[in-house]
Chains A and B, each alone.
Chain A
Amino acid sequence: MRTLSVLLQKEFRQLSRNKFVPKVIVLFPIMVMLVIPWVTTMDVRNVGVTVVDDNRSTLSRRLVDNIDASEYLSVIAVCDDYAAALALLEAGETDAILEIPDDCESSLLEGRLKKMNISANGVNAMKGSLGSRYLMGAIAQTLAEVQAEKGLPASVEPTVVRNFYNPTLEYRNYMVPALMIMLLVMICGFLPALNLVGEKETGTIEQINVTPVGRFTFTLAKLIPFWLVGLVVLSIAMLLARGVYALSPAGSVAGIYAAALLFVLTMSGLGVAIANKSDTMQQAMFVMFFIVIIFILMSGLLTPIDSMPAWAQKITLFLPPRYFIEIMRSIYLKGATFGDLWHDFAALGVFAVVFDLIAVAAYKKRS
């Protein structure tokens, strides 16, 4: 115990004297939390529409006006032929083309509406499909108005949709918990790895290796500081989420911290294990980067696990962030309780123990 306490004193002194790392620990979460949520908005705005109006009728003009008035859409140009519109799309000036057929108005009045065509730029699939959906909505609304005015039969949508836990479908609410996890992955994974390889590169670890200090004690002394660092990072992020985005956990804060403790132990254990097996910072960094990128892309942080093919879904079972993201989103947005999530907590616990044991085992005092 005494050994652990002197080693911890040493780690904290070194951390506090470092000119760079404490700044990163405070500023990085602030930067990420203030900037990224604005970047990750999925509600597509400013979809530029070019209309090829072959009809030139009251209806087609009304369509153009209504589209332009829509919050998300703006009419860039009205062209006479498709080729001109396509040129605009290729130049990136417009995102979608709406073709109104020449007998559009008359076909509506006759009750057998001729179809209009939307051609969207599919390079950005998200913008393409969402943009066309907005466009379709604007068209449907205009048609319904006209139908009502002309006394033509219209119908109510046969289904209504209610959204629980995030009624306004705010994409930010979905991303903020994920960002907290990314912060913990990056800070609590990379920093311990860099710290330990740093000791190898400067040779200070050799002086430790000739002492009788235990492998377990030494590893613990490397893990515990980042435990606290992780809690600081998480707290900064949660305060910002509350202050800037008015997002507070619907469930218990204690549950979030408990899960974070397990998760940070897992990540820093991984970092220490990789550092133990690396000789240079470059090496540790790249191996770490490789693993982190798989963690971030595959664990459901940014894209749903359900959308993956079966083989990829099986891999996700071995990724610790998968369980943490489940816990974070459920507690933050749905107010889930420990009883709802105990199996995720159990999985994280197992990962923490296994990764930390690997970290201890990877530390060789003797080559």
Chain B
Amino acid sequence: MNETVISVRNLTKCFGSFRAVDGITFDVGRGEIFGFLGANGAGKTTAMRMLCGLSCPTSGSGTVAGFDVLREGERIKRHIGYMSQRFSLYDDLTVLENIRLYAGIYGLSHRQTLRRTAELFARLDFRKERNQLVGALPLGYKQKLAFSVATLHSPEIVFLDEPTGGVDPLTRRQFWELIYETAAAGTTVFVTTHYMDEAEYCSRVSVMVDGQIRALDTPAALKCRFRAESMDEVFRLLAREAKRGD
């Protein structure tokens, strides 16, 4: 593995007596597409929120982009992008206004903003929609826009929380092309998903069960280890042990 950008040791998050994330340990290298799998309630989103500085770990340690997860949350935020499970751009602003807002927040210069916006519209083929209110866009467009905003400032790592939930297969395909392009440009992609075919596209995959990481390897190695045909089977074998329901 080349240079490490995320390194986590025994990271734990408790809500009362409930251990949502229970001592997870892993490393992610630069330029990887790191798949983060798990059933609903396994603790994926909680773990991701800790890495993004949205949630404070109860114990354990970790660094993201070279900064400490416990103490340097705000500095991490300069170097990461995040796309939440729930669409969270402003519905009552236009596409362009949303982009300019986040460009401004991340401190992109005027020239950088123009260049990035032009690139983005060309890549998404979004020219017509630029002055439409975001709330009026179809879901697939919204997801692509959210991804583009999350990578607007060319972050070192982008965190995607179930980015393709609820969109059609064609859009999912296009979305993964965006992810590949981004990874090829050197951005690390940390992605949670429910779709096992998507897991196959990842360079490495971890499977969380009941707040713990049960398996972590390349998809090929995992299939080999569990003597499974597909990632789907691997996942079902592991998820069967889960004690937590939804």
Contacts and interface: CB of A to CB of B under 8 A. Distances in A.
Contact of B80 (A3, A210, A367): A210
A203 to B, nearest CB: 4
Contacts of B101: 6-7, 9-10
A228 B97 CA distance: 22
Contacts of B107: 2-3
B92 A208 contact: no
Interface stretch (A13-21, A54-62, A84-92, A326-334): A13-21
A350 interface: no
Interface in A154-203: 202-203
Binding site secondary structure of chain B: loop
A301 B204 CA distance: 66
Interface stretch (B4-12, B71-79, B169-177, B215-223): B71-79
Interface in B86-106: 86-93, 97, 100-106
B116 to A, nearest CB: 15
A366 interface: yes
Given A203-B88, A207-B84, A366-B53, A14 B93 contact: yes
Nearest to A210: B82
B54 A367 contact: yes
A14 B90 contact: yes
A210 B90 contact: no
Interface string A196-240: 000000111111111111000000000000000000000000000
Contact of B100 (A6, A206, A209, A366): A6
A17 B81 CA distance: 28
A: interface residue count bin: 20 to 34
A208 B93 contact: no
A365 interface: yes
A252 interface: no
Interface of B: 52-56, 73-75, 77-78, 80-82, 84, 86-93, 97, 100-107, 133, 149
Interface of A: 2-3, 5-7, 9-10, 13-14, 17-18, 202-213, 365-367
9 contacts: A3-B105, A7-B105, A10-B90, A14-B92, A18-B92, A202-B91, A207-B82, A209-B54, A365-B53
